[in-house]
Homo-oligomer: A and B are copies of this chain.
């Protein structure tokens, strides 16, 4: 049952008078769930509980935290159809997607549990003493990663499960040993409350300290700001718009004690179609990209919003096929009327820029809030002149840029802001003649793909989901995959520390059996 209340630790709380509802975009009507905006006092209590919980939780073993994460996955599954119904109702996304995303969310939690049980993620590094070293003896030094403190998490609208309440940010922070306070996404507050109830239940069942998790409702920006400014909060995870992420980043930098903000933001994910891709597989790629552009109503941060090619008959043919293929697809419902109207506005604005031609524009009637696909094309010179054309239009939309030659292609890429992904289509044999283009693309992106589509983000150790600004605020960290735990950790060195009081990860006899760096060598051996 949806209560509309905040979770302040394990307490359901509704001190505030202000309420808001979520929206069912398919029915085009508000839901009947009322959510209580979190108050200042509730934020304060959640923050203090998190601070208190951290004192205990940071010292829990990997096995114990793993138990908690697995329990969260189990409790999410136990929510059963109530979760799937709330998800589909609040997002307009289909049931298959809801179940797939739930699987991914549970998979992420379990992947972190596995990481914790294995344990080597703490990067234990040991340099043993050399008491006889000249001119000065060398001390015994041992280093490992420790959690930084309570983390504030802002979920994204487009992944109500995998990038929200119990998504990658929350899972990675809890795995690191950091309590989490979620600022619930107002578009899926019921989904968020259900997930929160699962987390709280899991925390109670596995004996976690109260306050290890809280969930704050809010439809505005004030609650989020107060959360980021609270001295107890030591880091922030955010997935969403460039505007929102940058604002939080700057707010955190202005704190008396600045804290890291990891924001994964916008991207248009350039795709470079080399000549052979168009001449030999143009129809195939056009069909695949029609699918990728419209997947999930184009509401993916890795949506291919920019396709680059060199002027040729085969490029013209590709554009034509892309246009006809994409019009064969049925539009889907977008997440929310606001997202739909922003999409319409963005489409409209870009359609009226200089040099733009319309390739495809789905015009048939459809239900309210459905995102109708559109593809534009423009010459390289016009694209470079106009930064407006670099902006992400969140929805089933893409721009094909026709460049004069490889040099112009490279120049277009060099003008682009940082991107989550970049894709190259073609033959490896063309890499030599396009080495500058490919080098330019690689230096703008966090993930570079050959002969594929950027949508579909594998959760595995080799995934990097992030990129130069504005794809993310800190290109050194990923928000997907187990390496995302690194955002919430800091190294601490122990000098000449007594064996029995060292963390297990650093003890001579390696009781956890970790892979460590011992006097410069990777090994799972004991010391001495």
**C-alpha gap A442/B497 in the complex (Å):** 12
**C-alpha gap A417/B256 in the complex (Å):** 11
**C-alpha gap A475/B125 in the complex (Å):** 17
The answer to whether residues A448 and B127 also contact, given A462-B142, A501-B431 and a CB cut-off of 8 A, is no
Q: Is the CB of A449 within 8 A of B496?
A: yes
Q: Select which of B120, B468, B470 is within 8 A of A522 by beta carbon.
A: B120
Q: Choose the segment among A40-48, A289-297, A375-383, A452-460 that binds chain B (4+ C-beta atoms closer than 8 Å).
A: A452-460
Q: Select which of B258, B448, B490 is within 8 A of A495 by beta carbon.
A: B448
Considering the complex, which residues of chain A in the window 384-412 have a beta carbon less than 8 Å from any beta carbon of chain B?
A: none
CB of A223 within 8 A of chain B? no
Considering the complex, which residues of chain A in the window 103-152 have a beta carbon less than 8 Å from any beta carbon of chain B?
A: 120, 125-127, 136, 138-139, 141-143, 148
Q: Select which of B142, B257, B259, B464 is within 8 A of A491 by beta carbon.
A: B464
Q: How distant is A239 from chain B, measured CB to nearest CB, in Å?
A: 17
Q: Select which of B141, B442, B458, B468 is within 8 A of A463 by beta carbon.
A: B141
CB of A79 within 8 A of chain B? no
The answer to whether residues A520 and B476 also contact, given A249-B258, A450-B497, A491-B446 and a CB cut-off of 8 A, is no
Closest partner residue, chain B, to A452 (CB atom): B496
Q: How distant is A479 from chain B, measured CB to nearest CB, in Å?
A: 12
Q: Is the CB of A462 within 8 A of B126?
A: yes
B-chain residues with CB within 8 Å of residue A468 when the two chains form the complex: 148, 257, 490
B-chain residues with CB within 8 Å of residue A418 when the two chains form the complex: 257
Q: Is the CB of B250 within 8 A of A254?
A: yes
Q: Is the CB of A462 within 8 A of B125?
A: yes
User: A253-B253, A450-B494 given. 9 additional CB < 8 A pairs?
Assistant: A58-B443, A138-B460, A139-B452, A141-B462, A148-B468, A253-B254, A258-B469, A447-B493, A450-B498
Q: List 26 A-B contacts (CB under 8 A).
A: A55-B439, A125-B461, A127-B460, A127-B462, A139-B452, A139-B456, A139-B458, A141-B458, A142-B462, A143-B462, A143-B464, A148-B468, A250-B254, A250-B258, A253-B253, A253-B258, A257-B468, A442-B492, A445-B492, A446-B492, A464-B492, A466-B490, A475-B490, A476-B486, A476-B489, A522-B522
